[in-house]
Amino acid sequence: MSFPNTPPEGINPIEGLDAGQIALLLLASIAFEELGLAHVINAEAEKLQGAIGTLVDANGDPINPFIQAGSLAELLATNREVEKMLRTVIKKEMLLEFKFENVLDLLATLPTCTPTTSTFSNPASITIPDEGPSSPYPSTINVTGLTGTIAKVTATLHNLSHTHLNDLEILLVGPGGQNVILMDDVGDSAPGVVNATYTFDDASPNSMNAVTIPPSGTYKPSNNGSLENLPAPAPQQPPSYGTLLSVFNGTNPNGTWSLFVNDDAAIDSGSIADGWSLTITTTCP
């Protein structure tokens, strides 16, 4: 029989305990008591085996061949002793059951939180004019039903076409106002793109530069210019726009996420034909 770990991993009883940690300690204490009772029951069984001379080792050999079964009176006396002990064990088991039910009641009052990774999309096309804000401006995604706080966010633009990618300024704003520039001044004077799909992920080893048109793929958020304020109602600087998606970590994922797309120069235009999406991973506090 193995012993439970007390305190459970990650719990320091010297520091303040929350209700969930208290419940874990109570469950561990019940496990210890149940283990002790199991040993008591095993000992009583061996007592009976010894009394009738059938106590054997793992190989089936008598532990002590000189022990003989007792008289009928001795066997009955041993039986009464075992019966008394088992009555005590049963009483203890009833108390443990009540204790366990109380712990279950405590657990039922605790808030639930399930870490999840979920994707939310707005597939509506975003039209980018030859100069100025896109239509719509912003394009939004309403995130609901997630528990916990953000551990990771990635954003994807689906089927982006533009005759001069360098014109684009794209800003993502979360429900709490945190924001990050996904791309700005990418590709310089190189030719445009057709139906490119870009995913932005802090963990990507790739960055977009100001010279080369990036193929479809996964990139870090890439700001290659000295970015001025995007047109209102986009948030205005200062403070400066964010440079990493981790700016959203630790915040509430639920609410309206906004994608602001602006073309900062005349002549060239484009669209994000299939809209955009967010993939959000949450963690419990």
Q: Any idea where the domains of the chain sit in the sequence?
A: 19-108, 117-283
CA distances from 255 to 14, 146, 152, 269, 278 (A): 38, 10, 16, 30, 13
Rounded Cα distance between 35 and 42, Å, is 11
Given a contact cutoff of 8 angstroms between Cβ atoms, the answer to whether 139 and 258 are in contact is yes
Tokens representing residue 118 in the block: 């979920």
What digits encode the pLDDT tens for the residues 154-196?
Answer: 999 999 999 999 999 999 999 999 999 999 999 876 678 999 9
Pairing of strands 193-200, 149-162: antiparallel
The CATH code that applies to domain 117-283 is 2.60.120
Q: Note the pLDDT of residue 22.
A: 81
CA distances from 32 to 27, 87, 91, 155, 260 (A): 9, 20, 16, 49, 58
For residue 218, report the phi and psi dihedrals to the nearest 5 degrees.
Answer: -110, 130
What digits encode the pLDDT tens for the residues 51-105?
Answer: 776 766 667 666 655 555 567 777 788 888 889 999 999 999 999 999 999 988 8
Residue 2 has pLDDT above 80, yes or no: no
Residue 3 has pLDDT above 60, yes or no: no
Given a contact cutoff of 8 angstroms between Cβ atoms, the answer to whether 190 and 175 are in contact is no
What digits encode the pLDDT tens for the residues 108-155?
Answer: 887 776 788 999 999 999 999 999 999 999 999 999 999 889 999 999
What number of other Cβ atoms are within 10 A of residue 84's Cβ?
11
Q: What is the DSSP string of 177-196?
A: S-EEEEEES-STTS--EEEE
Rounded Cα distance between 83 and 95, Å, is 19
Q: Angle 203-170-157 (CA atoms, 0-180°, nearest 5)?
A: 65
Rounded Cα distance between 263 and 133, Å, is 6
